[in-house]
Amino acid sequence: MPPPLEAHVTRWSQDPFACGAYSFVAAGATPDDRVALATPLGRSVFFAGEATHTGYPSTVHGAYLSGIAAAKAVRRAARAGRRAA
């Protein structure tokens, strides 16, 4: 696996004006955009977070539930990889 080409880090917890951050649905966006954010790249890169959950976006439980879903997807991919080997 090659190293990442770039990374973006938010420091919202240190911003005296923001005091937090969460996703929102922009004008023209649809729930399908959140589904696209959650779509894995192959069988090795998986995504989770409140921005990827269609039922509970912008919430802690949305982040938690999306993490569980991503972990299950990782497990399925790992099992499929073992069967293919």
pLDDT at 79: 92
pLDDT along the chain (85 residues), means of 10: 84 74 83 94 93 90 95 94 75
How much is the pLDDT for 85?
63
Residue of 36, 33, 44 whose CA lies nearest to 77: 44
Give 20-64 as a 3 state SS string. CCCCCCCCCCCHHHHHHHHCCECCCECCCCHHHCCCCCCCHHHHH
